[in-house]
Amino acid sequence: MPEVVRLGELMYRALGASLSEQTWTEWRRAAAKAVGARLDDDLVVVVAEDPDAPGRLVSCGAGTISERLPNPWHDTASVGYIQWMSTEPAFRRRGLARAVLDGIVAWFDERGVDNLELHASTEGAPLYTSAGFWAGSTGLALRRRPWDPPPP
């Protein structure tokens, strides 16, 4: 579990998260608890291990299932969300992120969840678009969250 959380933190830091060490410590604790509580229930984590250092992860991603109300185009209310996609810089461009993503998508497929979403960084967007992800056509995705205020 600590290695998955470490790679999740690497992703957030790469996205520009600049937090106090106390906040990172609290996040690590909460993240490990959440992953441990949900794994194999509504959460999957797919990993790639360093071939030269067993137990050390170099790439990972997570997928969660949530329930929404059905819509007129799709009566299945289950939605998959892909997150924490992260690869150590020294191991990028080797197909590991694609293998992780393929494993997560296969997990969703096994559960009949075909409505998948994710947020892509600029660097990660080509991987996701090549795997069939796109912006969608049924409305602009907007958010409201206090820790990420809108630009002025």
Note the pTM of the prediction, 2 decimals.
0.89
For residue 37, being part of any structural domain is answered with yes
> Is there a domain that residue 71 lies in?
yes
Of 15-24, 68-77, 126-135, 140-149, give the lowest mean pLDDT range: 140-149
Residue-number span of the structural domain to which 72 is assigned: 2-121
Is 45 within the bounds of a domain? yes
Q: What is the rounded CA–CA span in Å between residue 101 and residue 137?
A: 23
Asked whether the CA dihedral 88, 32, 102, 148 is positive or negative, the reply is negative
Residue 139 lies in a domain: no
For position 73, which CATH number holds?
3.40.630.30
Decide if 36 is inside a domain.
Answer: yes
What is the distance between the alpha carbons of residues 7 and 49, in angstroms, rounded to a whole number?
12
Mean pLDDT, the chain, integer: 91
When computed from its CA atoms, the radius of gyration of the chain, rounded to whole angstroms, is 16
The tens digit of pLDDT for each residue in 74-90 reads 778 899 999 999 999 99
In this structure, is residue 145 part of a structural domain? no
- Is residue 138 a part of any domain in this protein? no
* Count of structural domains within the chain: 1
